[in-house]
Amino acid sequence: MANIKIRNTGERIEGYQNVSKFLEDQGVLYEHWDTSKLPAQLQENCKINDEQKEQVLSVFEEEIKSLAGRNGYHKWDVVALSEATPNLEELLKKFEQVHVHTEDEVRAITAGNGIFVIKGSEELGYFDVELEAGDVISVPVDTPHFFTLREDRQVVAVRLFIDPSGWVAHPVQDPQFTGSN
């Protein structure tokens, strides 16, 4: 289950109900999918090929279609990042810049983990959403944020889009963001 770390205060929020309530108050969708449905060879495996990515989509077809139907997403795919990913460092540098999108950024973590750093209300500032397998998050349109990997540097995530060609990161210069804590 996801945990929250408030960057300004160091406060931590844990437990599904507490995390859900906090994120709901910030306008961020949070759900949890049952990753035990995945075949054993895909559980905790972040070095997957295209056939295995299709298998992930098949296993979670019902959940994907439910989320897509509720929120107007039309396309989805799977991204897998690990030390085996070519140009991982360049990808991470691109991901780790504060930016916004013209549509929601939706990720369902199916293996591994990662952190979304999201700007909350002005008085709250930035907070980290520490995600693990099963966590589903949707960062709302025009919300400053970025994504980074955790120490083990690996993740598999289902991505949902309204228009994948329109999913472009628009950098934001935010004096309130002070970098990693």
- Class of the domain covering 3-171: mainly beta
Q: What is the DSSP string of 85-119?
A: STTHHHHHHHHTS-EE-SS-EEEEEEEEEEEEEEE
Going residue by residue through the chain, which has 181 residues, state the pLDDT in tens, using 9 for 90 and above: 999 999 999 999 999 999 999 999 999 999 999 999 999 999 999 999 999 999 999 999 999 999 999 999 999 999 999 999 999 988 888 777 899 988 999 999 999 999 999 999 888 999 999 999 999 999 999 999 999 999 999 999 999 999 877 567 888 888 778 665 4
**Radius of gyration for the chain, computed over Cα atoms and rounded to the nearest angstrom:** 16
Beta bridge partners of 29: 138
pTM for the complete prediction? 0.92
Residue given tokens 């209300």 in the structure block: 121
Which alpha helices (DSSP H) does the chain contain, by range?
A: 16-25, 50-59, 61-71, 88-95
Residues whose CB falls within 8 Å of the CB of residue 151, separated by 6 or more in sequence, listed in order:
none
